[in-house]
């Protein structure tokens, strides 16, 4: 089990990977629109991450060349929910700290 967790952490730890999963949750997307939604990341990096996510079974390329999350990819997106809630608490805590600064 630890080996699979390490593999997942390695995949999700790569720059832009989580952002792509996040963006594709909004719905399928073509390459260029996805690139724009990801703040214009380089096409070579996007291509590489999409290949990695496809090989991992999280993303599929549809017949019209758009990319979409697979059911496993949707599960991965759902697993981000606790992180979303934690990040809101973190931002609030940082805001409280900056309010306390002289």
Domain ranges of the chain: 2-100
Q: Quick one: 70 exposed, middle or buried, by C-beta within 10 A (0-12, 13-18, 19+)? A: middle
Contact criterion met (CB below 8 Å) for 59 and 47? no
> Rounded to whole angstroms, how far apart are CA atoms 54 and 56?
5
Residue entry with tokens 């700290």: 97
Q: Which two tokens stand for residue 16?
A: 């832009």
Confidence of residue 78 (pLDDT cuts 50, 70, 90): very high
What architecture does CATH give domain 2-100? Orthogonal Bundle (1.10)
Residue-wise pLDDT for 18-66, tens only, equals 999 999 999 999 999 999 999 979 999 999 999 999 999 999 999 999 9
Q: Is the pTM of this model over 0.75?
A: yes
Q: Positive or negative, the Cα torsion across 54, 57, 63, 68?
A: negative
């Amino acid at each position: 089990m630890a080996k699979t967790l390490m593999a997942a952490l390695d995949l999700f730890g790569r720059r832009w990977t989580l952002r792509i999963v996040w963006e594709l949750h909004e719905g399928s997307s073509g390459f260029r629109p996805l690139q724009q939604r990801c703040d214009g990341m380089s096409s070579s990096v996007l291509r590489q991450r999409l290949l990695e996510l496809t090989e991992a079974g999280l993303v599929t390329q549809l017949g019209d060349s758009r990319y979409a999350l697979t059911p496993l990819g949707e599960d991965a997106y759902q697993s981000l929910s606790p992180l979303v809630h934690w990040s809101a608490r973190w931002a609030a805590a940082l805001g409280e700290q900056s309010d306390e600064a002289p």
